[in-house]
Amino acid sequence: MIEMPECERLKAVQEQSQIIGEFLEWLGDEKGYFICTYGDNAEFPQLPFLISDSRERLLAEFFGIDLDKVEKEKRALLEELRKSD
């Protein structure tokens, strides 16, 4: 059996992540709020700009989950399943 530690970590925080994700969706879709940051633009240092990361990426970063590792683990599992057929 293939070990999938990053996928297991993702599953362990699924419920918390879902709740936070729903809150972020509510903020953006219903309230019209956006997550922004300030840049290093010398001309306009006080102007915020939108963060381009997806909610999924932000949540993964918050929980310390590497989505690239999750994808690799899923691909390895699929490959193992194909071999066993």
**Residue 71, pLDDT score:** 96
Q: Give the separation between CA 40 and CA 29, rounded to whole angstroms.
A: 28
Q: How does pLDDT run across 45-57, given as a tens digit for each residue?
A: 778 888 888 999 9
User: DSSP letter string over 13-24?
Assistant: THHHHHHHHHHH
**Residue 25, pLDDT score:** 94
Give residue 34's region: left, alpha or beta (phi > 0; psi -120 to 50).
beta
Q: How does pLDDT run across 7-51, given as a tens digit for each residue?
A: 999 999 999 999 999 999 999 999 999 898 887 667 777 788 888
- Give the predicted TM-score (pTM) of the model: 0.80
**Residue 37, pLDDT score:** 84
Q: What are phi and psi of 39, to 5 degrees?
A: -100, -175
